[in-house]
Amino acid sequence: MTTPYAFSQSAFAGEVQQRWDHLQDGEESGVVVRVAGRVMLLRAQGKLAFATMRDSTGELQLFALAEVTESFAEFTHLHLGDWVGVTGEVVRTKRGELSVKVASWVRLAEAQHNFGDKWAGIADFDLRYRHREADLWANEKSRTTLARRSAVLQAVRQRCWADGFLEVETPILNAIPTGAAARPFVTYHHALDTEFYLRIAPELWLKRLVVGGFERVFELGRVFRNEGISPRHNPEFTMLELYRAYWDYQDMMAFTEELVAGVALDVLGTTEIQYQGRDLSLATPWPRHTMAELASASLGEEVSVHTPRARLASLAAERGVEVSAAWGPGRLLAELFEVTAEADLWEPAFVTEHPVEVSPLARRHRRDPELTERFESYVVGRELSNGFSELNDPVDQRRRFEEQARLGAAGDEEAMRLDEDYLRALEWGLPPTAGLGVGIDRLVMVLADEANIREVIAFPTLKPLTEGRD
């Protein structure tokens, strides 16, 4: 059976509901509309039939009568999930439901599968993630969450554009995976006979654009990290990276909290929300604490990057950290922070002044060369963003890369890779610049009240099925 190639729709369900809200029970509007959508429910009753149709704006009842509706018998045999286009007058039934009284209709597409259960929806995670289309059809929460993701992306872009940032795109296929510490995915280009890596961060490319004179740039894009999957990690995820010449990390912290709180206002109309049943305020300003302060407070003992390495190592070991001989005091301090204080940062907060040892791209702190001018924001116990005054000294940058190379040689698979082209770019002159990275998926999780990152990704990474299930 051939179905139509198009349907000229004159109104959406939501519009009809609003515009004819005033109709009294049993009243007819005299206005004919053409609406289209998916049949969600069907109640056939002899010579009458009622269907609930849904389009992207809402639901609307279709009211069919044997003496009025063309092909009435076929109408009563529509399947749940079928797409229909309907022409008819807007009326309100005697029992008070605003409806389109079906004069003519056409099936636009047939649903050959259905999930049947009208109130339980689809619960099986495997089915929901592998066939998100069925999940979206069946589950309203999935629709609102993914729509909210779109709203967040729009709000982030608009705020960046409004501040004069240029949206740019940088390579995903990279000869050298760098800009972060992570295992990359490897792929291969035939014509060039070269292995490429999917990017783990766009950071170095973006700073090269700043070197070129784009003083404000951002990229909103996918990055790929070949790491474990968890409720908070998907192998590909979306990151906002943003660079602003002439700013330092303090300026960027202020920008970050305003961005996140502003997006919450744009999307939800408030900064006062609930996450997983707990109150959460995103209102600015967010408190700032140095990493050493937080670790010291949790440990009940003053520690810093200047504490003797042996002391830091024993404190870490006491707390279950498997200390590597290659770690210096900076890495140990960062590990101590992670195992003690990190999970308690429910309300938004900035952690600042990370050790140089764990921050190979950040500029040294103006008051302590063992620290950097870096910050991370934490919300609901999770890292949400990361930023710093960018290291713009090519000599120091080379030293930092070389230190990373030593770690790599010692077996650290995630040590950052040296990029000669980037060092050369720094030699052209990077102005004082602050950078920011925001995990967009995690931001959406907070604003959509979702506990699992897969819920905020339309098609999360799953292991393919080899046989058996569809």
**Residue 124 found at the interface with RNA (CB under 7 A):** yes
- The nearer residue to RNA, 93 or 392, going by C-beta atoms, is 93
298-337 footprint of RNA as x/- string (CB under 7 A): ----------------------x-x-----------x---
**Residue 395 found at the interface with RNA (CB under 7 A):** no
**Residue 397 found at the interface with RNA (CB under 7 A):** no
425-454 footprint of RNA as x/- string (CB under 7 A): --------------------------xx-x
Q: Which of 16, 29, 53, 61 binds RNA (CB under 7 A)?
A: 61
How far apart (Å, rounded) are the C-alpha atoms in residues 151 and 107? Answer: 32
- The nearer residue to RNA, 66 or 192, going by C-beta atoms, is 66
- Tell me the β-bridge partners of 196: 187
**Residue 360 found at the interface with RNA (CB under 7 A):** yes
How far apart (Å, rounded) are the C-alpha atoms in residues 126 and 153? Answer: 26
Rounded least distance, CB 190 to RNA, Å: 28
Q: Which stretch binds RNA (CB under 7 A): 145-153, 216-224, 231-239, 419-427?
A: 231-239
Q: Which of 77, 311, 406, 424 binds RNA (CB under 7 A)?
A: 77
The count of residues interacting with RNA (CB under 7 A) is 73
Q: Which of 66, 109, 147, 410 binds RNA (CB under 7 A)?
A: 66
How far apart (Å, rounded) are the C-alpha atoms in residues 425 and 435? Answer: 17
How far apart (Å, rounded) are the C-alpha atoms in residues 436 and 166? Answer: 14
Contact 191, 216 (CB under 8 A): no
The b-or-e profile of 61-99 (16+ CB within 10 A means b, else e) is: bbbbeeebbeebeebbebebbbbbbbbbbbbbbeeeebb
Read off the amino acid at residue 303. V
- Tell me the β-bridge partners of 63: 50, 101
How far apart (Å, rounded) are the C-alpha atoms in residues 287 and 271? Answer: 16
- The nearer residue to RNA, 190 or 469, going by C-beta atoms, is 469
- The nearer residue to RNA, 33 or 361, going by C-beta atoms, is 361
Rounded least distance, CB 31 to RNA, Å: 17
SS3 label, residue 44: strand
How far apart (Å, rounded) are the C-alpha atoms in residues 23 and 28? Answer: 7
How far apart (Å, rounded) are the C-alpha atoms in residues 430 and 466? Answer: 50
**Residue 399 found at the interface with RNA (CB under 7 A):** no
SS3 content of the chain, % helix, strand, coil (to 5): 30, 30, 40
Rounded least distance, CB 73 to RNA, Å: 9
How far apart (Å, rounded) are the C-alpha atoms in residues 359 and 291? Answer: 13
Rounded least distance, CB 160 to RNA, Å: 21
Residue list 88-117, contact with RNA (CB under 7 A): 93-97, 99, 113-117
- The nearer residue to RNA, 252 or 267, going by C-beta atoms, is 252
Residue list 20-49, contact with RNA (CB under 7 A): 26, 41-48
Residue list 157-196, contact with RNA (CB under 7 A): 180-182
Q: Which stretch binds RNA (CB under 7 A): 147-155, 252-260, 264-272, 461-469?
A: 461-469
Six-digit token string for 114: 């259905």
Contact 118, 41 (CB under 8 A): yes
* Alpha-carbon torsion, ordered 139, 262, 279, 231, to 10 deg: 50
